[in-house]
Amino acid sequence: MGQGPEPGEINEAELLAAMRRMLDEGRRGAASEQRPGQALYRVYARAVADRDRLGELGFGIISWITGGRGDREATDFADEILNGTGEDRRRDKVYEVVHRLATGGITWEEFITVTKKGLIPSGSREAPVPPPDALPLTSAKETLEAMLAEAGVSPDRPSPKAVWSAFVSFARCPFAAKAPHHVENDMCLFQWGVHDWGSGRNFECDLTRQFVVYDEHGDCDHMEQLSMTLLLDADDSDLLELGTGDLWSGDDIANWESEVEALDAFAVIRTKSPSGLRLNHTDV
């Protein structure tokens, strides 16, 4: 949260408007999404790609409200919090935090503490039992690095075919959070487009696996993303014709693999010679 506007530099009305806009778009897309939360998260991914720090912050507050869930029930709950009328202590709390962000009455450290536990009722869901061969989530990046090395991937001149093969193997590998936490909403993303993060333009082909980690009460604790990004020539006309796009997985990784391989973007990218490979494991 250290980049972009700091507490005290945030326009309260603009932040609330960004939150409502993102939530509305996520709710509209929920009717046709294959996996709950894809539409809402796509809005966040676009905010990141556009370096929209206000949008990123707005998504963070929405995730606090929903407890990290993106299904229709959770987003309807968030809509009632943001746009409902009548007395509601949770609504008051959200508006209080937004106001403190605007007036500089809260630090990022305090913000993280205040918004750690979701506002949506968690219910009494039982935590899923990880498979016996699940690896520790803390070893996810190390596991992917080992798979890339085994596939003969060079960080300087990575082969798109070898990178894809390694990622698919990684996507099928189960991981478990340290008890009493557990992983849910484990999904993968294939996305592409031109971006400039401050060090020059690149056409990027990004493969991401996202883990949502819940605590023993069924509340969202945090999200983790492990991303592997191929860097390509931003002036390549073949790549520019692809524009931007993304494809999320559902529970069936084999089906997602087939869908990605059927994309025109995948067919074009696999014929190119990337100039580099970036690997990043972050909390969202």
| 205 and 236 in a common domain | yes
Sign of CA dihedral 203, 244, 186, 251: negative
The number of CA neighbours under 13 Å toward the Cβ of 144 is: 25
Q: Which residues of 104-128 are buried (b: 16+ CB within 10 A; e: fewer)?
A: eebeeeebeeebeebbbeeeeeebe
| 95 and 19 in a common domain | yes
| 102 and 177 in a common domain | no
| 232 and 153 in a common domain | yes
Q: What is the pLDDT along the chain (284 residues), one digit of tens a residue?
A: 444 568 888 999 999 999 999 999 988 887 777 667 778 888 887 887 777 888 889 998 998 898 877 888 889 999 999 999 888 899 999 999 999 999 999 998 899 888 878 888 655 556 778 889 999 999 999 999 999 999 999 888 899 999 999 999 999 999 999 988 888 778 899 999 998 777 778 999 999 998 888 888 777 778 889 999 999 999 999 999 999 888 888 778 899 999 999 999 999 999 999 999 999 998 76
Which residue type sits at 19? M
Neighbours of 79 (CB within 10 A): 17
CB 209 within 8 Å of CB 170? yes
| 146 and 46 in a common domain | no
Q: Which domain range does residue 242 map to? A: 135-283
Peptide bond into 180 cis (omega under 30): yes
Residue 141 in domain? yes
pTM: 0.70
Which residue type sits at 143? T
What single DSSP character describes residue 11? -
Residue 1 in domain? no
What single DSSP character describes residue 115? T
Which residue type sits at 20? R
Which of 114, 143, 178 finishes a domain?
114
| 185 and 239 in a common domain | yes
Residue 2 in domain? no
CB 106 within 8 Å of CB 261? no
What's the number of domains the chain is made of? 2
Structural tokens at position 273: 């010679």
